[in-house]
Amino acid sequence: MKMYYEKDVDTEVLANKTVAVIGYGSQGKGQSQNMADSGLKVIVGLREGGSSWKIAKDDGMDVRTIEDASKAADIIHILLPDEIQADIYNKSIAPYVESGNTISFSHGYNIHFKYIKVPEDVNVTMIAPKGPGSMVRRTYLEGFGIPGLVAVEKDATGNALQVALAMGKACGLSKAGILETTFREETETDLFGEQAILCGGVTELINAGFSTLVEAGYQPEIAYFETCHELKLIVDLIYEKGFAGMWNDVSNTAEFGGFTRRERIINPDAKAEMKKILEEIQKGKFTKEWSLEAKTNMPMLNRLRELESEEKIEKVGSKLRKACGLEKKAKEKEEKVVVVNFNKTKK
């Protein structure tokens, strides 16, 4: 394991360099503002008149079309959704890429699966915060940062790793630590984590537990608290203290029950399915499926979103979050970050 911290990174490699951040979603917003506040020359490349154009302008960013930003940049940091990156790269970025430039990403998807092909005389790097863009920005403003990953797929200039690390430091990641990886490792583990655990696995587990209690006659509100609401408290303990720290903080009853029953839920059959999911990712089966879905305007994804919104746990959860003031608190937190961002960039 190789970790890089503040003392290991020299940002002089970016002196007189222009970074074009393509996209202004959660990551684009957080990373571009952090880099600008760290003293880098940053341009935000967007579709003129698009929904993010005015937002980025109001945030005090130097906003240009994707084509103009790509022309002016030494480093082009692509933070667009995976499914549209290749099309926009080929049409609006590739014609302006010059020898010695760096093409950078925060997810290796399009490089690893070869949807984007970069000239041999151009660096291909990755700097990937391990958290949402809002946290990238918030922790930076608080004087710290979140951990990140760094990878080099192609080192055409001999200093690609130093360029990527300097970008990570400017985002605030080196204060927490930047772990070296590869495009393949980051892409395949990221997709697996999303599908089997963080997004797919955990939501199915929560809903299965909720439905089990409701079908047994328990109040839906109580079921929601026990299977969904309290999950954040447990995950926070694991995040801060690891498994052992979490077990130490819950009751002996919870610890004994958890230890003795957990393998009945995540059993050999579940692990076998996880292996199948990983193989589908490794062999490109998933990416072909997703590519076809994206090209046909996402009919399956839109239908699945609709079905999810109709789940009982979603209706019960929305009612309880409002009753407990959680939605209001979340909104106030988001608005606070927006105000801080605005004031910070206007100074």
Catalytic residue set? 107
Annotated binding residue 327: no
**In angstroms, rounded to a whole number, what is the distance separating the alpha carbons of residues 181 and 126?**
9
Annotated binding residue 177: no
Interior angle at CA 96, CA 116 and CA 168, nearest 5: 65
Annotated binding residue 264: no
Annotated binding residue 47: yes
Query: DSSP states of 111-132 as a string?
Result: HHTTSS---TTSEEEEEEESS-
The answer to whether the CB of 19 falls within 8 A of the CB of 41 is: yes
User: How many Cα atoms are found within 13 Å in the side-chain-facing hemisphere of 336?
Assistant: 10
Annotated binding residue 27: yes
The residue written with tokens 């957990």 in the block is 262
Kind plus residue range of the DSSP H or E element containing 191: helix 183-192
With b meaning 16 or more CB within 10 Å and e meaning fewer, what string describes 34-60?
A: bbbbbebbbbbbbeeeeebbebbeebb
Annotated binding residue 289: no
Annotated binding residue 190: yes
Annotated binding residue 334: no
The residue written with tokens 């995040």 in the block is 239
Annotated binding residue 305: no
Annotated binding residue 309: no
Annotated binding residue 255: no
Annotated binding site for Mg(2+): 190, 194, 226, 230
Annotated binding site for NADP(+): 24-27, 47, 52, 133
Annotated binding site: 24-27, 47, 52, 133, 190, 194, 226, 230, 251
